[in-house]
Structure 1
Amino acid sequence: MKFPVFLSGLLLLFLLPDWTESVEDDTVDINTLARIINFFEQNYKRVDEDGHPRQYATAINVPKDQCQQNFDQNKFLTQEKAEKVRNAFKDDTNALYQGSELIAAGTMKMKKYNMHSESRLLNPAGNSPMSKLLTKRKDGCSVFYTFESPCVNTCLNATSSHNILDALKNWKAHDGIKAFVFKDFWKYDIKKDLQTEFKKIVAHVPLFRCVSENECYACKGEGNTPIDERCLPPKKMLTTVSPMQ
């Protein structure tokens, strides 16, 4: 009676290397992700004359190996011209760039409010710049980066007409490596329950926080796992920052 069990164990050991390789093939390398986000910051971020950086978001759909350990910056997004992307941000009435492997947006001025850059790239969910970008490569590496975390009242609010949740659900169905990344916290959300709100993102795609070219964190949060503390505002920030600043 033990013989079949032995064969099952042997078969499992035989298949394990291929299974492990498959898992690794669908996971972004955390050190490479830090370098990719730093590339965005160095090339695309808009900074006003007073030195204040402006909110922006960008997304890529590139060959899978460009998100793994053999990342080569000299071969990365060679079809996209940084100056052309930055110039697109200068027009606040549009502030949208759509390239072959990269899309990017700033905030767009409306009559009564500014439309957030995340919503501009992800909506309408079925016909957005992001959905069009994903059709260009079926199983590559897709990374969405927003300088400041998605706002709770609009982007992560299911009742808002500009929420990004349906778009994230669609993205989940796309093959390949996926990573949703942010750097700073949207200042009006500092005191909100981001532990709960960020789980709305994690329900669809892996969430990361990258703060420098050498420092990225996997935020986790799947199932009953909590969001990593490094992806949440420090406690001292909660007591010193007013949500109305």
Structure 2
Amino acid sequence: MEQTVSRRRLGFSLLSVTFLLCLTSGAFGSIDPDNLKAIIDYIREYGIANNHYAVAVRLDNRYCRSPTRRNLETALPRNQMDQMRSAISKKNGIYNPQQIGDVVAARPNFQRDPIEHAEWRLLTGDQNSPVERILANKDQNSCLIFFSQLSPCVNQCLNENVMRNIVRVVNPLFNRYNEDGRAFVFESIYRKDAVKEHEVVLGAWQRIQRAPLFRCYAGNRACIKCFNSNQPVSNSPCLAN
């Protein structure tokens, strides 16, 4: 994650969403992948090319259950999404407006040492974190999506021995929702993790398994769930390119 452009360069399809999605309790047992795909694709329209970023979105249940174009534009108006894109188009940019709505976003902050990763910037701050602000006084049966363009990195984001890991924040946050009301999504595998042993990467990913973790590829490919209860811990469909 040290070099934003280098994380993208090896050509792994994008999307680490860093997202969380909520649907009505018990409807599917987990999030419907087709609904998740529609929401992620809409968010990605307002993303930025060749740079890592993360986005968190809260939606009402009716928009999670039926993420049509019209519903998404109602829930996440284009002018708001344009403002988000403008903010994260700037180096070290963050979208955390004073008048909070239902979406926040960030790029890594390279001015800090060590670098503040995009995921961490949205999750840090306890009750004043950008993510907590979009959830404040909102119905917890609503939909929460955390989207990170690249998979959360093994050495920092998922390393519980590092102060700025996201595991200690993400797990309590997701545990407030039913499994069919949450999702952490990524599109591309962070290039430095792509060359690590599969067991190392999967072991780190499983620290946020309860999210649950999804990979949503760019283009027409479907969103897939990275872990299932009957699946060996040494394998995951999300490792495939």
Q: TM-score, normalised by structure 2?
A: 0.76
Aligned to 1:182: 186
Aligned to 2:239: 232
Deviations 1:106-162 (A, max 9, x none): 111224443111001111344421122222332111111111000111110111111
C-alpha displacement at 1:72, in angstroms? 1.7
Q: Secondary structure of 2:162's partner? A: coil
Question: Structure 1's 223 and 164: CA in aligned 2 closer, same or farther, altered over 3 A?
Answer: farther
| Distance of 1:130 and 1:75 partners within structure 2 | 22
Q: Any gaps of 5 or more consecutive residues in structure 2? A: 1-23
| Distance of 1:216 and 1:227 partners within structure 2 | 20
Q: Any gaps of 5 or more consecutive residues in structure 1? A: 1-20, 48-52, 235-245
Q: Larger RCO: Structure 1 or Structure 2 (Cα < 8 Å, ≥ 6 residues apart)?
A: 2
| Conserved 8 A contact 1:148-1:185 | yes
C-alpha displacement at 1:223, in angstroms? 8.5
* 1:200 paired to 2:207: yes
Identity across matched positions, percent: 25
Count how many residue pairs are aligned between Structure 1 and Structure 2. Answer: 206
Question: Structure 1's 168 and 227: CA in aligned 2 closer, same or farther, altered over 3 A?
Answer: farther
Q: How does 1:63-82 map to 2 (within 5 A)?
A: 63-68=60-65, 70-76=66-72, 77-79=75-77, 81-82=80-81
Question: Structure 1's 181 and 102: CA in aligned 2 closer, same or farther, altered over 3 A?
Answer: same
Larger Rg: 1
Aligned to 2:224: 217
C-alpha displacement at 1:233, in angstroms? 4.8
| Conserved 8 A contact 1:194-1:232 | no
Deviations 1:160-192 (A, max 9, x none): 111101111221232351010000011111122
| Distance of 2:234 and 2:60 partners within structure 1 | 29
Q: How does 1:10-25 map to 2 (within 5 A)?
A: 22-24=25-27
Equivalent in 44, 49, 54 of residue 51 of structure 2:
54
| Conserved 8 A contact 1:60-1:103 | yes
Aligned to 1:95: 94
Deviations 1:187-239 (A, max 9, x none): 1111222121110010x3111000035411011255875376321155xxxxx
| Distance of 1:139 and 1:228 partners within structure 2 | 32
CA RMSD of aligned residues (A): 2.4
| Distance of 2:164 and 2:158 partners within structure 1 | 9
Q: Name whichever structure is richer in strand by fraction.
A: 1
Q: How does 1:116-135 map to 2 (within 5 A)?
A: 116-135=117-136
Q: How does 1:132-171 map to 2 (within 5 A)?
A: 132-135=133-136, 136-171=138-173
